[in-house]
A = this chain, B = another copy of it.
Amino acid sequence: MTQVRPMRADARRNYERLLKVAAEAFAEHGEGASLDDIAKRAGVGSGTLYRHFPTRQALLEAAYLDRVEGFARRADELAKELPPGEALAEWLYELCVGTIQVRGLKTLLGSAMVDGSDAVLTVCGTHVRGAAARLVAAARAEGTLRPDVEPIELLRLAHGVAGAAELADGGGESLRRYLSLLTEGLRA
């Protein structure tokens, strides 16, 4: 393990300002938000932004890390409050709401669900996959979930359903309906 030296005071200040501004900007303008604009709003040269976050993806991940951790914690909360099947359903619902409401989070969560060799060990991916795995295991043991469905598949399908609901009403009532269509199936 490499030692992480503490940042210089000004660097740390810039880093945190960037994170805060970036979270706002991505939420407002989506994942395509202007990086130059983020640097300016944070009162920082554009080079500084690139020093801290070499790619847009890195900034996106850092900006929403706490939110993603929130989802992971929420999974365990729900697991205590509800029977496994309902906990899983509710968690997926809340995940979808976040996906739809916070522009930029969709891309981030999506990239945590791709089967690309490198993206698998992304911090964000670890959190969300872990949480899903715990909920799925419980629901399986309870016997309410098809035993052949993998956690990651569930995450991807929910991600897709969030997209479908977005097409319908930009995240209004249809989300709950579409999620229930997924769990119930389409057969007569």
Contact = CB atoms under 8 A, between A and B. Distances in A.
A115 B146 contact: no
B157 A188 contact: no
A159 B167 contact: yes
B188 A115 contact: no
Contacts of A181: 146, 149, 153, 157, 182
Contact of A183 (B115, B164, B168, B186): B186
Contacts of A183: 185-187
Interface residues of A, number: 35
A131 interface: no
Interface of A: 110, 113-115, 143-147, 149, 153-154, 156-157, 159-165, 167-169, 174, 177-178, 181-188
Interface of A is mostly: helix
A13 to B, nearest CB: 35
B159 A163 contact: yes
Given A115-B169, A163-B163, A188 B156 contact: no
Given A110-B167, A164-B159, A184 B187 contact: yes
Contacts of A144: 187-188
A153 B149 CA distance: 23
> 6 closest A-B pairs (Cβ-Cβ)?
A185-B185, A160-B160, A160-B164, A156-B164, A160-B163, A183-B186
Nearest to A140: B188
B186 A143 contact: no
A53 B177 CA distance: 37
